Structure 1
Amino acid sequence: MTQYTDHYGPEGLRTRGTIVVVPGRGEGRAAYARFGRRLAADAYRVRVVDAPRIDADDLTGSLGRFGAELAAAVEGAAAEDGVVRPVVLVGADTGAADLAALLGAEESPVVRLAEAVVLAGLPGRGADTGGPVDTGAAGGAEGSWDAELDVRTFCPAHRGVLTDDSGTRRGSLGIAVPDALLDAAHRGDIAVPTLILVGDADPLADRDALTRTAKSLPRARLTVVRDAHHDVLNDLQHRSVAAEVVTFLETVRNTLVPVVAVESSAW
């Protein structure tokens, strides 16, 4: 049975939308507690799902099952008068790749489900790493785990969450992402507004591929976070990144018209 972690907005405030967060390789739902609470504080209904299991030998079937699970997660987050829209999907690492692949497929039911998507830390084909991250077969060696944490985040609080959470699967960043999934993620025609987030210190990112993907989509924004690592939603810059996500959510609510425009600035 699929499990969820839910975050609700302050009592008495009208819910502004429904957000479903999809973790990536090795991440449990606890990894997004801080992010979920922050969005919920701005009156968004947030549901964090389990990281999907994608079978490289049955990519179509795996994505189809994941799409059905996403639909169930959204429907299950409905209020008394239905699902509060807009529905925005947020994916990290392979969670982002899975969402991009689903939203880029014409026959996917998820295409009709979401009004927007956030793709954070979308992985490349081992770009700038020389291959998979060397984290050890089972992540048992402390040095290997420290190396994986260094790839993920320099935020001490988040490093502690990952280390202490029983849902974290150490060594997962050393598992290669199927090429077919990456192809589907980067070549799909995502019609909904898309915010792509990447840290400029992320060794698993392919910046050229992300730039091409962002330019190929009709309504996409590529945001680069200075000094951020692979877990761009949960690195030292998490406050600024959350602000960027909330700004995107509010812009989606306002039919992609920015609520705030800078008229004059000294920086």
Structure 2
Amino acid sequence: MTTVSAVPDVSVWDNPPHLDPRGTIVLFPGRGEDPSLYERFGARFGADAYRVRAVADPSRHPDRAIKQVKEILAADDLSHPVVLAGSDGGALFAAGLVASGEVTADALLLAGLPVHRADTVAAPNAWDEELGARTACSTHQGRLAAADRLERGAVYTPLPSEWFERADLAAVHVPVLALHGAADEISPLSEARAGYAAAPRIELVSLVGGRHDALNDASHRTSAATVLLFLERLRLGPEAPLVAVREKLAVREELPS
């Protein structure tokens, strides 16, 4: 197993200097992931003037991850809306912080939320199989295979039961956007729906054919577009009103010849 032992620094992507920041995304990586793996996500939203901060993996460095988040949120130049985001175990951890009131955010972004199950998903014997379960994007698979950026097999390590108890989405009253792969074998969508449904103000978007890493899968552009629309709505107020509405056009009846 490849291990990543050092506690990582916060990975930072900023708004361009000629543009004022439009908001802040603070992201918890998934199990075994280095925050630098979110460079594509961070650069994309940074270019749209949203500040992105990816902190330490809470499954390995929970105290450090919380400390990093609280330092970011205490900054004098913090730009709102503030979205606490997470992938895999990071999504569960983020939900727990907001549900418990330990961290205040304007919204939650959850990707590939883990399911609490009595049996554990068995880790595949082959690395290629794990890569395929994580993402179908060949570019991101290359990032995951790079040395010191991922602890292989970590995504199959059970998360603490108290994380699931704490992440009571019924206690989360800010807007929640959830992205989940329809073909996720690690956290099956059919089982995850019940957890998502507890949130009073949630929008669940399933990605057709999507694997576990909903932010870095082959459909990453669709995921990013969905997140960007959510962010733009949050800028209009806490109710996240619609920015664009799909209009229905009446079908004209053809006149008889």
TM over 0.5: yes
Q: Structure 1's 213 and 171: CA in aligned 2 closer, same or farther, altered over 3 A?
A: closer
Partner residue in 2 for 1:201: 183
Report Cα offsets for 1:149-196 as digits up to 9, x if no partner.
Answer: 011001000000010141211111221122221232245511111111
* Cα separation, partners in 2 of 1:23 and 1:6, compared to 1, 3 Å: same
Residue type of the partner of 2:213? D
Checking the alignment, whether the CA contact within 8 Å between 1:49 and 1:73 is kept in structure 2 is no
The residue matched to 1:151 in structure 2 has which SS? helix
CA contact (8 A) 1:251 1:259 kept: yes
Alignment counterpart, residue 264 of structure 1, candidates 231, 248, 251: 248
| 1:146 and 2:128 correspond | yes
Which one of the candidate residues 110, 123, 126 is aligned to 1:134?
123
What corresponds to 1:119 in structure 2? 110
Q: Does 2:104 match 1:98?
A: no
8 Å Cα contact 1:152/1:231 also seen in 2: yes
Q: 2:152 aligns with which of 148, 170, 176?
A: 170
Greater shift, 252-261 or 66-75, is seen at 66-75
Q: Which residue identity is paired with 1:115?
A: D
- C-alpha separation between the residues in 1 aligned to 2:249 and 2:36? 39
Instruction: Write the distance in 2 (CA, Å) between the matches of 1:230 and 1:89.
Output: 19
Q: TM-score, normalization: structure 2? A: 0.86
SS at structure 2 position matched to 1:84: coil
What residue is the counterpart of 2:230 in the other structure? 248
Q: Secondary structure at the match of 2:178?
A: strand
Distance of 1:2 and 1:159 partners within structure 2? 21
**Shift of residue 254, structure 1, vs aligned partner:** 1.3
Per the alignment, do residues 265 and 26 of structure 1 end up closer, same or farther by CA in structure 2, a change over 3 Å counting?
farther
- Report the alpha carbon displacement of residue 66 of structure 1 after superposing the two structures with TM: 4.4
Letter in 2 for 1:210: A
Q: Is the Cα contact below 8 Å between 2:26 and 2:52 reproduced in 1? A: yes
C-alpha separation in 1, matches of 2:249 and 2:71 = 45
Amino acid at match of 1:101: G
The answer to whether the Cα contact below 8 Å between 2:10 and 2:53 also exists between their aligned partners in 1 is: yes
Pair 1:36-2:48 in alignment: no
Identity %: 36
Could you say which structure has the higher helix fraction? 1
How far did residue 124 of structure 1 move? 1.1
Distance 1:102 1:51 in 2: 14
Count of residue correspondences: 242
Q: CA deviation at 1:210?
A: 3.4
Partners of 2:12 and 2:53 within 8 A in 1: yes
Relative to 1, partners in 2 of residues 1:66 and 1:263: Cα closer, same or farther, differing over 3 Å? same
Q: 1:237 to 1:5 in 2, by over 3 A?
A: same
Residue 221 of structure 2 aligns with which residue? 239
* Cα contact 1:133–1:148 (8 A) shared by 2: no
In structure 1, the gaps of 5 or more residues are 56-61, 137-143
Q: Which residue number in structure 1 is paired with residue 68 of structure 2?
A: 69
Question: Over aligned residues, Cα RMSD in angstroms?
Answer: 2.3
Q: Tell me the distance in 1 between the aligned counterparts of 2:160 and 2:92.
A: 10
Aligned-residue offset at 1:233: 0.3
Please say which structure displays the higher CA radius of gyration: 2
